[in-house]
Chains A and B, each alone.
Chain A
Amino acid sequence: DTAVSQTPKYLVTQMGNDKSIKCEQNLGHDTMYWYKQDSKKFLKIMFSYNNKELIINETVPNRFSPKSPDKAHLNLHINSLELGDSAVYFCASTQGQGWSTEAFFGQGTRLTVV
């Protein structure tokens, strides 16, 4: 069973479109995250939800809107896509926020905006 699964794995779309990426974790974890990994491979946190509540909201354009219908799901909706949004987006989850927190990652969604 896949612990953290995100769909789609690849997404190619035109500028200006709206798209969503879905994420589900079956680990029973309390906290879920969205990360963006750019072409230089730097992982940058975008959002964090704990028990469906937003706890981290880094400086990202408000075109990005996360939604957590329940603690096992965290979806990312992006409006008016721009060329600079092209990157790999990773969903991750952790159990609580303790010092021994291990992050489990999905396989990533490679978004290409053309």
Chain B
Amino acid sequence: TQLLEQSPQFLSIQEGENLTVYCNSSSVFSSLQWYRQEPGEGPVLLVTVVTGGEVKKLKRLTFQFGDARKDSSLHITAAQPGDTGLYLCAGANSNYQLIWGAGTKLIIKP
């Protein structure tokens, strides 16, 4: 059974701080996606990383795919209250299914 482990499960920090969320697996994924979910809404795609070692930036968010395509990280610089939400990673396996992590609940305090 393929698993994606996300850590931390919960993170509460002050505005302006930096943070990193991790997504790890023992399985190789053809691509990995990061989603953000706000209360009362469905997840919305932030980014897809495909190549091992790939780094993508979305304003203050930096996403990296591990060289072996088994893990990924999301780094937020100078976090803002608007970054508050549930962050989910999802890996696409060789059967083209999405395997989901359990999510990281992020709270940014003003």
Interface residues of A (CB under 8 A from B): 4, 40-45, 48, 56, 90, 92, 97-108
Contacts and interface: CB of A to CB of B under 8 A. Distances in A.
A100 B86 CA distance: 22
B48 interface: yes
The secondary-structure label for the interface of chain B is strand
Interface stretch (B13-21, B72-80, B96-104): B96-104
A101 B96 contact: yes
Contacts of A4: 42
Nearest to B42: A105
A19 B40 CA distance: 21
Interface residues of B, number: 24
B42 A108 contact: yes
B102 A99 contact: no
A23 to B, nearest CB: 11
Contacts of A105: 42-44
Contact of A107 (B40, B48, B100, B105): B40
A99 B92 contact: yes
B30 interface: yes
B88 A43 contact: yes
6 contacts: A42-B102, A43-B103, A99-B30, A99-B92, A102-B33, A105-B44
A107 B48 CA distance: 21
Contact of A41 (B42, B48, B90, B102): B102
Given A98-B96, A99-B92, 19 more contacts: A43-B43, A43-B88, A45-B97, A45-B100, A90-B43, A100-B31, A100-B50, A101-B96, A102-B45, A103-B33, A103-B35, A103-B45, A105-B42, A105-B43, A106-B42, A107-B41, A107-B42, A108-B40, A108-B42
Given A41-B102, A41-B103, A56-B97, A101 B40 contact: no
A67 B37 CA distance: 27
B42 A90 contact: yes
Nearest to A105: B42
B98 A101 contact: yes
Given A100-B48, A102-B33, A108-B40, A41 B98 contact: no
